[in-house]
Structure 1
Amino acid sequence: MKPKGYIHLYTGNGKGKTTAALGLALRAAGAGLQVFIAQFVKGMHYSELESLGRIPEINIRQYGLDCFIVNEPTEKDIRAARKGLEEVTDIIRHHRAGVVILDEVCIALHYRLFGLEEIISLLKTKPEDMEIVMTGRYAPVELYEYADLITEMKEVKHYYNKGIDARKGIEF
């Protein structure tokens, strides 16, 4: 009998949501589980793409273009996110991974790249033994009902507020 899988939600305004999800991915891969990571909104080349790309149990895909966070998303941004949602839906429904990470799905929801109802519907199709991790600021409270584990990252102090730019290997 396979162990039960749970739904995680890592949210809040503090640093570490994606980092926590990637740590879980490494642990799962080390245990021999197949991991699929869908990075919504992200289209830049982050350093984790290099390291995770070397691990055969982990498949990471980006479904974002340029950073639109300071502007409104374009139709191309919406299409990229929707493509990701379609691929993730297929992976979950056909049980193609033991762990599925929806990185920045809450940001995608916040910017209305797809609807909350679509994510809730997807969560309802989760195979019993699959682990699903959702990350991102602005998690809608409706997701709290579906999550078995919720961690809120709270920013207490961040050097970014002193003008320190993101650093390769640390923030990207």
Structure 2
Amino acid sequence: MADQQKTERYKARQQKVKESIDAKVDAAQIEKGLFLIITGNGKGKSTSGFGTIARAVGHGQRCGVGQFIKGTWDCGERNLLEQHGVNFAVMATGFTWETQNKEADTQAAQSTWVECKKMLADEQYDVVLLDEMTYMVNYGYIELTEVIEAINNRPASQSVIITGRAAHRELIELADTVSEVRNVKHAFENGIKARKGVDW
């Protein structure tokens, strides 16, 4: 008898949850491309962005990626996604603390941004990932107003993802969805080397 009561109470709770979720689904009727930001100090922001690109590709959608602060080293996501028609624009200068040349970094960022703006203006692209874009804005390599303008003027059905730490508050206000990745623990802090296939 006790087991039956537990089962009935469980079913009643789940029915309430279902009704609440169904109501939210019914209320969400707006069709538009989304602007997503994945920020915070934790590991996994780029991984999440690339996961969304992989998902979109799996649905037969056309995608583009702008990679900022990346070097010329092997990139597992790029190796895979280029085989499936994903267009990449890569800054290819490496981390700013390695180059230590603001002028060269700015030029490389601007060159990559030119290619990204073409994708953001092209209605054939369903999803565009601007990986590590937050740094470009914060370092002054790319003007915030330019980024906002490109996002606001993109095709209505196109979704955009920006990743990186310390996303500017104006981008956060503009975004439809903002996720913050929090650092709890990181292997690198304990002297563990970055691992191929997991970290890069």
Is the pair's TM-score, using the shorter chain for normalization, greater than 0.5? yes
What's 1:100 paired with? 128
Question: What letter corresponds to residue 20 of structure 1 in structure 2?
Answer: S
TM normalised by structure 2 equals 0.79
Offset at residue 95 of structure 1 (A): 2.0
Q: Which consecutive unaligned segments of at least 5 residues does structure 2 have? A: 1-30
What is aligned with 1:156? 184
Residue deviations 1:79-132 (CA, integer Å, cap 9, x gap): 111011111112212324110100000011122211111111111112110000
Q: CA RMSD in A?
A: 1.7
TM-score normalised to structure 1 length? 0.92
Structure possessing the higher relative contact order (Cα contacts under 8 Å, 6 or more residues apart): 1
Deviation track 1:143-166 (CA, whole Å, cap 9, x = no partner) reads 111100000000011111101121
Whichever residue aligns with residue 54 of structure 1, its letter is: Q
Q: Which amino acid aligns with 1:48?
A: E
Q: Alignment length, in residue pairs?
A: 170
Aligned equivalent of 1:116: 144
Aligned to 1:51: 80
Residues 1:71 and 1:44: Cα distance change in structure 2 (over 3 Å): closer
C-alpha deviation, 1:44, in angstroms: 3.0
Q: Between the two proteins, what is the percent identity of the paired residues? A: 33
Kindly state the Cα deviation for residue 73 of structure 1 after the two structures are TM-superposed: 4.0
Structure 2 residue identity aligned to 1:28: A
Secondary structure at 1:26 match in 2? helix
Match of 2:83, SS state, is coil
- Cα distance between partner residues in 2 of 1:138 and 1:69: 17
Other-structure match for 1:75: 103
Q: 2: distance between equivalents of 1:72 and 1:119?
A: 24
Contact 1:64 1:77 in 2 (8 A): no
Superposition deviation, residue 60 in structure 1: 2.1
Q: Which runs of 5+ in 1 are unaligned?
A: none
Does the alignment pair 1:35 with 2:63? yes
**Runs of 4+ deviating beyond 6 Å:** none
Q: Please say which structure displays the higher CA radius of gyration.
A: 2
Q: State the SS of the aligned residue for 2:165.
A: coil
More strand by share: 1
**Cα distance in structure 2, aligned partners of 1:164 and 1:134:** 28
